[in-house]
Amino acid sequence: MGAKERINELIELLNYHSYRYYVLDDPQISDAEYDKLFNELIELEKTYPEFLQGHSPTKKVGHKVLTDFRKVKHQSPMLSLSNIFNKEELIAFDERIKKLISVNSIEYVCEPKLDGLAVSIHYKNGIFDSAATRGDGKIGEDITENVRTIRNVPLKMFGNNHPEHFEIRGEIVIPNREFEKLNDIKLKNNEKTFANPRNAAAGSVRQLDSKITAQRPLYFYAHSFTNEHLFKTHTEALDTVKKWGFNTAKNILVSSSTNEIERYFNELIGKREKLDVNIDGVVIKVNDTKLQTSLGNIARSPRWAVAWKPPAYTATTLVKNISVQVGRTGVLTPVAELKPVELGGVEIKRATLHNASELERKDVRVGDTVVIERAGDVIPAIIRVLIEKRPPNTKTFKFTEKCPDCDHKTQRDGVNFVCDNKSCNSRIKEALKHFVSRDAMNIDGMGEKLIEQLVDKGLVKKFSDIYVLDPDELSMLDRMGKKSSHNIIEAINMSKKVSFDKFIYALGIDLVGSENAKELAKRFNSIDEIKDNKLKSNKLNGSSFVITGSFDEMSRDEISSLIEENSGKVSSSVSKKTNYLLAGKDAGSKLDKAKELGIKIIDLKDLFKLIGN
């Protein structure tokens, strides 16, 4: 097969596999296999730039840096939705529509209202063409290069019978889990964190350098179409665009009954904190597209759709005190102690102030009246201070120079103050709470109160002390007895059997969360092996290798890992950029090509020499 055909084949393959992965949620190949094909394509495109294709997945890595976003006029305005807040308003909406078109019943489609950034994307003959933000609804900004990088936006639509020109609209979001990871990285790099996933998505999309956008965990969910008349119903539209390679929101209801819609709303809003993507309500749309057209729009919103919003979980209250909590890594977290207030059915007494920088920025003071909000987080946050209500003589909060627990001198580390005393009781308690938690050693019954007593009484200073606890001593503690002490010892013994990755996670090593722990457990068999792990070298930094043929001593995968562990790069095809061709037995066309390009050809021994082994 010639290079051109292989390039086309790889593009089709990779696009197909990302569709399996993102849209069907049913991958057929592993990430590693995907990466291998992807690397092969990169190399081929580098060698044969004349065969580059606009819809190649390698185009998803970002483009040149812009100085500004060009303004674009929308072909039809991007509307907003009018809001309703309760069942009565829903019934009124339904009655109004039924009256307008003189029918007894109307079929609706209900979808989650995704809390993201609205975007319009254009396709020409099935190929990704351009994208724009909503802007003021009439004029948006050209974010083509940024949207091109979004992993689940197809650069070429699947299937057939696409219209020559297709405009699809939807939301760009960052899922909650990914949002947390993103903020963790920001914290580690001493950068300002994003306040919520929506801001993170908006900030990521509005980057003049699309290479930054490419690295952000953005996803697109389609929810409306300007050529809606192509489809009889909105549900038909959703089904069709799924086949064309787009993601649409999960949890959709089709119903004519306001009772059923109410149940759907309550259920979805009830579990909103558990959803992958933040939602800020439910959108209720007339399903029949002809009826949509005949209902038309009022001012800036369609008459055929409405957004049902949950009550906002915000409240105002008074800051009684600001206390400081010491985390297991020594980070000091300021916490506002509040005059108790009800928020979305829960009594709130405290709100996090996140970190020192955040507190400095908001300048929350004891005595202030503040607006608090409970979003996806379990712990509510202070969103702002009502300065006009600030009493005289309040003072800016100052972190003490000493740890509130152990009196050790604290240090400023980026946005945080930290206590770096490893034997600080607070740190030990928090580390233990993590150690025994469900996703770690899962020691049932060893709750906060017990850990606090064990540490305060000096019975436990380190993890291993848990495993030599004396049942009699345990039964003497507050709120303990023979029975509960026995149960806890049993749970402690059970925990010796947890899987290796949970054990690694339990140790609470910096940067080793549950995902990294799983990776470590895959590669190593014991803690001793991890401890022996030779530090990666930089010996092969900047060198790119291609491996060909077979080797008696090691498998090709082992050789690849060895090269990568020493900071080298392994590609699957030879190009001008290749530094070394590692040739084994029965090397074939790659060897010929390397010779032709004058690339250095080495064997395993040479590789070991390069590494200094």
Interface residues toward ligand IVH, by CB under 6 A: 79-81, 111, 113-114, 118, 134, 171, 223-224, 249, 283, 302, 305, 307
Which single residue is written with the structure tokens 């190593």? Answer: 524
Smaller CB distance to ligand IVH: residue 292 or 575? 292
In angstroms, the CA 294 to CA 100 distance is 10
Residue type, position 435, single letter: F
In order of 74, 96, 510, 600, the CA distances from 565 in angstroms are 50, 67, 21, 21
Please give the helix or strand (H or E) that residue 48 lies within, else none: none
Find the shortest distance in angstroms from Cβ 79 to ligand IVH.
4
Find the shortest distance in angstroms from Cβ 134 to ligand IVH.
6
Find the shortest distance in angstroms from Cβ 228 to ligand IVH.
10
Q: Is 98 known to be catalytic? A: no
Secondary structure of 170-185 as H, E, C letters: EEEECCHHHHHHHHHH
Smaller CB distance to ligand IVH: residue 123 or 225? 225
Question: Both tokens of residue 549?
Answer: 């043929």
Nearest residue to 34 via CA among 52, 53, 48, 19: 19
Beta carbons of 200 and 143 less than 8 angstroms apart:
no
In angstroms, the CA 242 to CA 19 distance is 10
Q: Is 414 helix (H, G, I), strand (E, B) or coil?
A: coil
Question: What backbone torsions phi and psi does residue 488 show, to the nearest 5 degrees?
Answer: -70, -40
Smaller CB distance to ligand IVH: residue 201 or 460? 201
Nearest residue to 304 via CA among 317, 281, 322, 288: 288
Which residue among the candidates 59, 60, 113, 285 is catalytic per the annotation? 113
In angstroms, the CA 514 to CA 335 distance is 26
Q: Is 343 helix (H, G, I), strand (E, B) or coil?
A: strand
Question: Both tokens of residue 504?
Answer: 């690694």
Question: What backbone torsions phi and psi does residue 137 show, to the nearest 5 degrees?
Answer: 100, -30
Smaller CB distance to ligand IVH: residue 8 or 80? 80
- Strands 301-302 and 305-308, bridge-based pairing: unpaired
Smaller CB distance to ligand IVH: residue 77 or 344? 77
Q: Which residue is nearest to ligand IVH (CB)?
A: 118
In angstroms, the CA 306 to CA 86 distance is 12
Q: Is 40 helix (H, G, I), strand (E, B) or coil?
A: helix
In angstroms, the CA 45 to CA 57 distance is 11
CA atoms lying within 13 Å on the CB side of residue 452: 6
- 396 CB neighbour count, 10 Å cutoff: 9
Smaller CB distance to ligand IVH: residue 122 or 156? 122
3-22 and 31-47 helices cross at what angle (nearest 10)?
150
Find the shortest distance in angstroms from Cβ 227 to ligand IVH.
14
As a whole number of angstroms, the longest Cα–Cα distance in the chain is 85
Smaller CB distance to ligand IVH: residue 136 or 557? 136
Find the shortest distance in angstroms from Cβ 173 to ligand IVH.
9
For 467-506, letters b (16+ CB in 10 Å) and e give eebeeeebbebeebeeeebeebbebbeebeebebbbbbbb
270 contact partners, CB below 8 Å, separation of at least 6? none
Residue type, position 306, single letter: V
Find the shortest distance in angstroms from Cβ 25 to ligand IVH.
19
In angstroms, the CA 496 to CA 492 distance is 7
Question: Both tokens of residue 241?
Answer: 């665009």
> 108 - beta bridge partners?
255, 286
Concatenate the DSSP letters of all residues of 71-121 into one string: EEE-SS------EE-SHHHHHHHHHHHHHHTT-S---EEEEEEE-SEEEEE
Find the shortest distance in angstroms from Cβ 115 to ligand IVH.
7
- 444 CB neighbour count, 10 Å cutoff: 14
Q: What angle do CA 310, 314, 317 make, to 5 degrees?
A: 155
List active site positions.
113
